[in-house]
Amino acid sequence: MIEIKMPKLGESVTEGTLSRWLKQVGEPVHRYEPIAEIITDKVTAELPAEAEGILMRHLVQEGETVAAGTPVALMETFTSGVSRASGSGAGAGSGPAKVPQAAGPESARSRDGRSGVAGASGSGLRGRYSPAVRKLAREYNVRLEGIPGTGAGGRVTRRDVLAWLEGATMQSAPRPAGASQGILTGETARAEQTPDDVEVIEASPIRRAIARHMVESVHAAPHAWTMVEADVTGLVRLRDRIKEDFRRREGIPLTFMPFFLKAVAESLREFPILNSSWADDRIIMKKRIHLSVAVATEDALFVPVIRDADRLSITGLAHALHDLATRARQGRLKTQDMEGGTFTVNNTGAFGSVLSKPILNGGQAAILSVEAIVKRPVVMPGDMLAIRSMVNLCLSLDHRVLDGWISGRFLQSVKRRLEAYREDGGI
């Protein structure tokens, strides 16, 4: 019998969430065959079997987060005594290997003969139901064994419990003390709140990982925020002029983001203190510029890294960005794609935002949000009004490392580089 453990998917990754079991108890498994999906705040990966054999037990539930190195499953290998289905290594009269069956909780019915209503604190619940489901069962005094499950392998989900409650008669539930006097206690509020009043959405494992990552960042670093606006009329006209030729020549679209990445990378060379982090009362200066770029999918936000971004041209940055964004949306990012970022650029303007206050990416001193490019009247030299394409550049910073003076100079450098583009220029 061997243990399969939660892997360490990266230097800074200390835990993982078991998103989904791909192999069930009793199923044969080939060596290196994936048995589960693992999610961290950086990447989604498959957990391979270390040997050939039979999966004997799940030690971790779907949706549960555990530290790297924690056993998640037990597996009987063929070399440790379990026969292959083909009979090799066993006598002619040997039958198939027997797999122990997990003992489930004892089924029961309520006093009125209807399965479902009873105490929800059976010892079998801990191994069969998620904490969120058990909590809901306790709140509504429901026995989960009587509820059909629609989750993976017939697992009961919160949605199953709420659907069951919606069709059940709740009159038999005891009314909390104080309700007859019109006193609304916490227990009374829960009893009188029906499933029709709320909609409960289960957070996906990756959403929970993102939540933990964001909370840790806010608590670890004193965030400060500043902003400048830039006139990118010349850049807009330049891109409009060359974008069709660029697509024909390079096979990918030319967005505004490579121009912003180029300006940021060059400005980080000018002000390297922003390409740093705080650790143990010291400032760690990063000599290479690896830009983390936020990429949104339907249910998550990934931040893959463009390495040595300051060495790439606009065209090179466009290809690197297109590759990472495509693989992120297809779920094909690797662990190494997410590691080593030194500064983050976030394109919040893609969905129309004109002002935002981003949260720092862990281990970095600053993050820049590029907002939507908006046409509006601007006072030009000589007090003349003109319609210009303007963009807000919003910088969140770790105030342990950076102050407003150096952050403002960095933003002015980014602004100056963006405003230098002209319609008749090149890339």
The residues annotated with a catalytic role in the active site are 399, 403
Cα distances (Å, whole numbers) of residue 272 to 125, 257, 284? 54, 21, 11
Main-chain dihedrals φ then ψ at residue 390, nearest 5 degrees:
-115, 150
Cα distances (Å, whole numbers) of residue 310 to 115, 257, 263, 288, 320? 66, 14, 9, 9, 12
H-state helical runs in 168-297: 186-192, 205-220, 233-250, 257-270
Give the whole-angstrom CA distance, residue 188 versus residue 180. Answer: 10
Residue 141, SS3? Answer: coil
Give the count of beta carbons closer than 10 Å to the beta carbon of residue 55: 23
Check: CB of residue 13 under 8 Å from CB of residue 68: yes
Residue 362, exposed/middle/buried by CB under 10 A (0-12, 13-18, 19+)?
middle
The one-character DSSP state at 171 is T
Check: CB of residue 276 under 8 Å from CB of residue 286: yes
